[in-house]
Structure formats: structure tokens, C-alpha cells
Structure 1
Amino acid sequence: MAYTASVKVGTVPTAYTVLVDCGSSEFWLVSDTCKQRGRRVPFGRSTSQTVQFWEGSWGTAYEDDSSLTGLFVLDDVTVGGRTLPGLPFGSAVTLTGTLAADPYDGIMGFGFADSSRTGAPTILDALVDAGFISNHITGWKLSRNADGRNDGEITFGGENDAIFFKDRQVFVQNLSGGRFKTWKVSIDGISMDGSQIISAGVGIVDTGCTEVLMHPFDAFAIHNVVPGAVLLRDSTYAFPCDAQPMLSITIGGSQFDVDPRDVVGYTLPNGFCRSNIFPDEMRQQGEVLLGVAFLKNVYLTLDVTRDRIGFAELR
């Protein structure tokens, strides 16, 4: 499942659907010269008379090894009714991997400006610099299709206290640093069906990833305590579709339970359902990528100024 937002760009503002991704820092749109653009809404001289092109090119890659290369551009960008004139961002001319097949028109990154491959400010930074908001903070509530409510939201500049329990909120410092920092937290422990599997570890927060990713040894230990869990030929796991695996992740001394519906994924031809806990050889033991399967169960606060991450129980 991907979470998207609508932005408007150009002379006569054109609406674009972009993936919202706190695992990256760049804002980019598919170029009208991109051969892999398919049915997506492209951006360029064909859609805007005010677009300007910088000299040089840029490129980036994502966790799933998909990548892009493109050009630097400037144009007016409107987010939530707030227009940022002459905002620098990226256009994507070539796409590889899943990016070539994805349906959205681009990506809006909510990482750190210093980590951006385009060298441009993030949308959040641009909104602060323009005086539209005061704080470098975003508050996230990711919706769940099974609930039948389209109630996901991102609050720019603060939090929506009405949808989470403020007294059940914890903040933890970001562990990441350096040139390409991410949102990384200390994990106190991970349990499955009441049994602690990982005593301590590190979590990488990523709204652009659907699953929870962990080292293959950790993934085996997690699934080994779930009745009926099986290892598939592609080295992922599956459950009986009526399974009720109870995954819990403790952060900042608070335990956050994951709805079993977010652990049990889509139905496979063999009658089982895919596990949304994926083994990933890129991860170290004890390192977990906390994707949407976990993040749907918390209210997430990303505080750039204080370099900290908040987790709270939803109402």
C-alpha cells in the first residue's frame, strides 16, 4: 500500500499525485520526456510555461534498488493551498525497477534537506522558509483500507492532538547522522504472540515501504512462533489467512501492538496469505525497517528541529 498526496505545479496549476516518503528527502516529478512515464501525469515544458531548467543532472536510488536520473527544475508548487513560487526540485527522465511501473507521478520526501541529492530544500523546509508554518514538524496518521475510512492525513508544522492520546506519546532521539541521515530509533524489544524475539535493536522509519523488513535470522525467529507459518520458495513467509499473529514493538519504554490485519497480507494462490514481515539480507541482525505495516498502528511525529521521532497510541 502506498500513501499519496496531491500537489499542483506550473503556470496553470496541474495536479500531481505523489508518494509521501519519509525515507527520502527529494521532491520530484516524472518528466514529459521520460519514456517510462506511461499514463502518469508528466511535468515539463508541455505542461508549464514557467518551468526553468538548471544546468546539470541528478539521480538517486531507493531501498528496493529502483533508481532514477533526471534534471533540476524550478517552478511554482502548491501544497495544501499554499504556493511556493520558483521552488527548485527534480524531474525524472529515466526510471528503473519498480519506479518504472509505479502509478504515482512523483515522490515527496520528508527526510532531511542536507541529505537531498538535488540539493534543494524539502517541501517542509520550503513551507517554513516561506512563513506558511512555524515549525519543522510533521504529524502522520496512515489509514487502513480494512477500516473502510479514508482518514489518513499529514499535518504540516505540528500535530493533530484530536486523533491520538497525548499522554501515551513517547519521543526518542534520532540515532542517524552524517551526510545521508534517515529517521532511525532505538527499539527496546520486539515480541510475537507474547514471546520476546528481539531484545534490543534499531528501527528505521519509512512511510514509503509497505512491509516490516528485518534480517533473515530475525524473520525466521519471528515466524517460528506463529502456528502454521511457512517459508515460501522466494524466502518470504506466509500464514493461514485466518491467523491472528500478535506483533508488538517497544519503543521508548512503550509497547505498540500491531493489528493482525497489518501483519497478514494479501492472499496467495496456495490459499495462504503473505506475511508483511519480510526477510531482508540488507538488514543487520536487530535492525528493522518500520514500514507501513507498523506505522498504521501509531501516530507518527517527525521533528526535524529537535531531531526526534514521536510515537503515540491512536484514538
Structure 2
Amino acid sequence: MRSTFSFEALSAAIFILLSIPVEVWAIPFPHDHGLPASHVATPTNLSEVISSPANLTRRAPPPLTIPLAILANSGQDQGYIASIRVGSNPRPFTVLMDSGSSEFWVISEICRQRGRRNAIGTASSPLIADLGVRWGTGYEDGSTLSGTVVRDTVVIGDRTIRGFPFGAAQTLTDTLVTGIYDGIMGFGLSSVSRTGAPTPLEAMAGSLIPDAITGWKLARSADGRNDAEITLGGQNTAKFHPDSQVIVPNTSRGRSTTWRFTIDKIMMNGRTITDARVGIVDTGSSALFVNHEDALAVLGQIRGLVALKNGEFAIPCNARPQLALVIGRVPFSVDPRDIVGVPIGGGLCLANIVSDVKRKPGEWLVSIPFLKNVYLTLDVTGNQIGFAELR
């Protein structure tokens, strides 16, 4: 993230989030701890969750669709949050939904960087259990956290996971200190989770939802519609044209497994700018982060380009760049508004394509500016990724 949010912005986002009817593809049940067995998973210990996250004993319910609220700053969409329940804490937790990480964590009550945010601990949830496991992780922007692994009930929509192990963040650094969400829910792969626990998605698969699949529709605040959503366990075909969908394999392997795929080529203003590239799906980043050579090659097609510090570029605010990523031989276009960023004066705006020294040659962090233009499907079971045109 290149900027932080105000608490007023968060309050507005939460109000919108909680005031939208939740679309649930299942028989509605109350949001409490007395749900039918088919809507409750009850792992007994950490090893059981890891070895058998679904605890499949009954026919799985249909997928679950929940609304997402946009976190925006100066008109720029910088993240998507959901409201969930943790333990017996009466306040809902606001969590950033992030495909680029594999851990679920919320702030601990003993975290000194907590501020006014919601947190978990024995004061708010007396039955929470500390598993005595230390853990830590970091993010693309250099921010880090550390804490312990705890176990408590987690409620997402009308589905309840009992005794679920997750991270309780006791120390935060950098943007995690100034962030306004209460935690992050990762939708990467459980095999690389730093907590040693499965993702909530994989823990739910089989018993609470049909499979470990997510469908994402990320909204654009400039459109004036708050129709962002995530479907757990499937896709919402009402949001995209099924015949336009392209399915590509996840090409990531090894200890750093993420959602990676092959981009056939990058086009700008109708011209082919690069040949094949590696894309990394990240719903938690507000810009397309690429290596310096690719940033110059793509943005160099825009008249009036100005190089700034820290790998950023400025372009005329009235520019209408026509960026397209070709995936599975199909070009997916990006709305010009998603490339033109925050105004900085003199008729110039930041470009939402940023040069990143950490990026390997040919590597693109495919994030919010692109993902708002497609319906995204992340299939853990099939180890594949889907892109489709929105309706």
C-alpha cells in the first residue's frame, strides 16, 4: 500500500458492508454457535486440522457468498474487507481478504500497536487457547508481524469453524501499525502457511463448503456500486460470462508457492510490448508492481511520462492508456481509470504501474488495478486460476 486509511473511511466501509444483504447459497441460519452440524466444523487439535481440515462427515452445503467493502483512499481502491466473528468477542472483526498470503491472523489484545482496533484474547473470548507456537511473517511492502498461534471459533457468514488455529499478532511494524483492519485472511495455499495451520478456506472445504475454490468480484469505487463479493466453495456465474472464462495452471512450485500463471504477452495501446511474463495474483496490493525495464516499456507508451522517486511514475491525469494482458490467448483489457492514480498536481497523477526492485525480470504482481476488470477464480483443489469477463 502506498498510503493509509482514516478511521472515518473504515467506518463508512463497515457501514456499507454490514448494511448489504448477504447473498448465501445455502439455507439461511442464524449467526450463532447453535448451527446445524452441516454448518459447523469442529477440529479437536492443530494436527487434526492440518491433516484433515474438512472433517467431512456429511454432504457439503452449497457455496457461500459474502459481500466485500472497498477500502479506498483519494478515490483509489486499495483493498477489500469482510466482516467475520472470532470467539465470543461481541464485536465483528474487519479483515483484509488477501490472495497473496496464506495465514489468517487478527490482532492480539496485548499488541501495543493495536490502537482502537478490535482484538482477540482472554478478556473478550475466555475460552481461547494459546497453543504455545510462535510465528511471524512479512508482506510485499516490508511490514512484518509476530505473535502466537491460538485456537478459537471462527464464524464466516453462516458457517462456523470450531477450535480453529490462527495467528494472534502481538507485534506489528510499518503499515500494519497504521492499517485500520483488525487482521488479514490469506487465500494462498496452506502448505506454505507460517502458522502451520490451514487457511480458513481449506479448513471449510468438504464439510462447510463444497470445495477449496474462491470466486472474486472486486468492485471499483469510481463506478458508485458496492458490488464486491467473494464466493467460498465455488463461483457466482451471475457475475461473469462463463463462455469467456480462461483456466490456466498454477505454475508456482516449492516452498514459496503462490498463485502464479503465465501471461502470454503485455499490450499497450494496441501494441505488443513484451512477450511471455509470469503473473502473481494479489488481491491485497493497490498497484501493478513490475521490474524497472517492463515499467518503462509499458508506461513509455504514454506521452508526458515523468519518472519519480522510489520506482513510481507520473502520467497526465487525462491519459487514457489501453493496457491489456493476454492470458490463455485471450486479451483482458484494463479500464484506463485503473492505471491513472492519485493526482499529485500540475495535471499529473501517479501511475498504478510501479517499478519494484524486488521483482525478478519478467515478473508482474497482478493486483487490484487488473483484477477489478475480471472475475477471478482461485482453485486450490485443481491448482488452477480462472479469469473471465464481467457481466
What interval of TM-score do these two structures reach, taking the shorter chain for normalisation? over 0.9
1:180 equivalent in structure 2: 256
1:27 equivalent in structure 2: 104
Aligned partner of 1:303 among 360, 369, 379: 379
Alignment RMSD (CA, Å): 1.0
1:116 equivalent in structure 2: 193
- Structure 1 regions of 5+ residues with no counterpart? none
Deviation for aligned residue 1:271: 3.4
Quickly say closer, same or farther: Cα 1:245–1:76, change in 2 above 3 A. same
Alignment pair present for 1:103 and 2:180? yes
| Counterpart secondary structure, 1:300 | strand
Which amino acid in structure 2 is aligned with residue 306 of structure 1?
G
2:120 equivalent in structure 1: 43
1:217 equivalent in structure 2: 293
| Counterpart secondary structure, 1:172 | strand
How far apart are the structure 2 equivalents of 1:34 and 1:67? 13
How far apart are the structure 1 equivalents of 2:140 and 2:264? 24
How far apart are the structure 2 equivalents of 1:307 and 1:138? 12
Which amino acid in structure 1 is aligned with residue 232 of structure 2?
F
Aligned partner of 1:55 among 106, 122, 132: 132
Equivalent runs, 1:229-248 vs 2, <5 Å: 229-248=305-324
1:76·1:84 contact (CA, 8 Å) conserved in 2? yes
How far apart are the structure 2 equivalents of 1:235 and 1:203? 19
Q: Where has structure 1 moved over 4 Å in runs of 4 or more?
A: none
Which amino acid in structure 2 is aligned with residue 123 of structure 1?
P
Deviation for aligned residue 1:22: 0.5
How far apart are the structure 2 equivalents of 1:49 and 1:36? 22
How far apart are the structure 2 equivalents of 1:132 and 1:233? 48
Alignment pair present for 1:267 and 2:340? no
2:89·2:120 contact (CA, 8 Å) conserved in 1? no
1:14·1:47 contact (CA, 8 Å) conserved in 2? no
Which amino acid in structure 2 is aligned with residue 8 of structure 1?
R
Deviation for aligned residue 1:184: 0.1
Equivalent runs, 1:48-197 vs 2, <5 Å: 48-129=125-206, 131-197=207-273
Which amino acid in structure 2 is aligned with residue 240 of structure 1?
P
| Counterpart secondary structure, 1:268 | strand
Deviation by residue 1:21-73 (Cα, 9 ceiling, x = unmatched): 01001000011111111121111112111111011310001111111000110
TM-score normalised over the length of structure 1: 0.98
Alignment pair present for 1:10 and 2:87? yes
Alignment pair present for 1:284 and 2:360? yes
How far apart are the structure 1 equivalents of 2:328 and 2:216? 18
Which amino acid in structure 1 is aligned with residue 129 of structure 2?
Q
Deviation for aligned residue 1:13: 4.1
How far apart are the structure 2 equivalents of 1:158 and 1:241? 38
1:139·1:159 contact (CA, 8 Å) conserved in 2? yes
How far apart are the structure 1 equivalents of 2:199 and 2:231? 15
How far apart are the structure 2 equivalents of 1:12 and 1:231? 48
- Percent of pairs identical after alignment? 52
How far apart are the structure 1 equivalents of 2:81 and 2:320? 29
2:103·2:167 contact (CA, 8 Å) conserved in 1? yes
- Structure 2 regions of 5+ residues with no counterpart? 1-77
How far apart are the structure 2 equivalents of 1:13 and 1:86? 17
Deviation by residue 1:111-148 (Cα, 9 ceiling, x = unmatched): 1111100011111011115x111111000000000000
| Counterpart secondary structure, 1:40 | coil
Quickly say closer, same or farther: Cα 1:12–1:281, change in 2 above 3 A. closer
How far apart are the structure 2 equivalents of 1:169 and 1:81? 29
Deviation for aligned residue 1:12: 4.7
| Counterpart secondary structure, 2:365 | strand
How far apart are the structure 1 equivalents of 2:252 and 2:89? 40
TM-score normalised over the length of structure 2: 0.79
2:292·2:356 contact (CA, 8 Å) conserved in 1? yes
